[in-house]
């Protein structure tokens, strides 16, 4: 049997938004690799696919790979190298391994670093990527906000980006999507105003899309100034230049 390393997108959190191809793959692979921020942290990604693994005739090996959240580049590179070796050794022995990732594997995901490390250090390892429904499209659907039409420009912005860069980017976009947004979004509103977004521009704030505790709020930029926004990693803001009256839910 030929081994392979497969990045599998499992969608944004709603168990019904996992693709047929992802489910099929998860039922067939020898091992499922799960990213974790530390060894004893529960894995949300694993809990989302638990029912799929339970339906298997032969249990899959579960490989818990730790990727701590640190800004120490050297430490991070060492960990990618360590985890890449674990994967490469198994693939060399003919095993198929699915690395699960929330949303899509190539959209702000730990998978990217791992797959780049494997491609560099172990070029003989066969790779495949199964795309997933991203949080971007899932949040837009829940808020019923079009992401782009006609000539509109969309910018995706990590909200911890430098404010100056946020301002520059905002000046060129019709739709802005702020990832990792909750704790910083209020501070971003004045920047949007400077970039020409009017008080009636549309804002959708989506927390825990498709997960327990989901919350969707849509309003104008002025409304958003008054919102109490709890800190939540699983949150996203979509801002559109077009008026809230057009995009009202
Ligand atoms: C590291 S990125 C992962 C993106 C993921 N790979 C994807 O394709 O959607 C994490 C950010 O995605 C957004 N996100 C992911 N899942 C979400 C959800 N269910 N609801 C709202 N935002 C979500 C949040 O902004 C979060 O901080």
| CATH of region 135-247, choose from 3.30.950.10, 3.40.50.620, 3.40.50.300, 1.10.260.40 | 3.30.950.10
Phi, psi of 215 (to 5 degrees): -140, 130
Which of 67, 103, 177, 178 to probe ligand 1 with, by most ligand atoms within 8 A of CB? 103
Superfamily of domain 4-130: Tetrapyrrole methylase, N-terminal domain (3.40.1010.10)
Task: List residues near ligand 1 (CB under 6 A).
Answer: 12-13, 101-104, 107-109, 134-135, 139, 179-181, 206, 208-211, 233-236
Q: Where do you find CATH 3.30.950.10 in the chain? A: 135-247
What pairs with residue 65 in β-bridges?
Answer: 35
Report CA(206)–ligand 1 centroid distance (Å). 10
What is the DSSP code (8-state) at residue 75? H
Report CA(103)–ligand 1 centroid distance (Å). 7
What is the spatial distance between Cα 77 and Cα 114, in angstroms, rounded to a whole number?
10
Strands 127-130 and 4-9, bridge-based pairing: parallel
pTM of model > 0.75: yes
Q: Where do you find CATH 3.40.1010.10 in the chain? A: 4-130
What does the pLDDT read at residue 248? 63
**pLDDT tens string 112-125:** 999 999 999 999 99
pLDDT band at 71 (very low <50, low <70, confident <90, very high): confident
Report CA(165)–ligand 1 centroid distance (Å). 21
pLDDT band at 166 (very low <50, low <70, confident <90, very high): very high
pLDDT, average across residues 167-182? 94
What pairs with residue 239 in β-bridges?
Answer: 176, 203
Report CA(228)–ligand 1 centroid distance (Å). 20
CA–CA distances in Å: residue 223 to residues 68, 69, 126: 37, 34, 50
Residue that is written with structure tokens 């930029």 in the block: 221
What does the pLDDT read at residue 67? 80
């Amino acid at each position: 049997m030929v081994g392979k390393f497969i990045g599998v997108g499992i969608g944004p959190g709603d168990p019904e938004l996992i693709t047929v191809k992802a489910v099929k793959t998860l039922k067939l692979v020898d091992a499922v690799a799960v990213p974790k921020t530390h060894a004893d942290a529960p894995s949300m990604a694993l809990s989302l696919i638990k029912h799929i693994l339970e339906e298997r005739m032969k249990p899959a090996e579960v490989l818990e790979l730790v990727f701590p959240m640190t800004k120490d580049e050297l430490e991070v590179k060492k960990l990618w190298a360590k985890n890449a070796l674990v994967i490469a050794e198994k693939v060399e022995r003919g095993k198929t391994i699915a690395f699960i990732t929330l949303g899509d594997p190539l959209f702000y995901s730990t998978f990217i670093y791992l797959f780049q490390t494997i491609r560099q250090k172990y070029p003989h390892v066969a790779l495949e990527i199964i795309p997933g429904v991203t949080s971007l499209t899932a949040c837009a659907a829940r808020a019923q906000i079009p992401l782009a039409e006609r000539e509109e420009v969309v910018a995706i912005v990590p909200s911890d980006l430098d404010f100056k860069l946020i301002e520059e980017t905002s000046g060129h976009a019709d739709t802005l999507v702020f990832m990792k947004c909750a704790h910083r979004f209020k501070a971003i509103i004045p920047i949007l105003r400077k970039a020409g977004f009017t008080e009636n521009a549309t804002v959708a704030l989506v927390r825990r899309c498709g997960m327990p505790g989901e919350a969707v709020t849509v309003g104008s930029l002025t409304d958003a100034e008054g919102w109490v926004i709890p800190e939540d990693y699983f949150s996203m803001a979509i801002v559109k230049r077009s008026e809230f009256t057009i995009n009202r839910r």
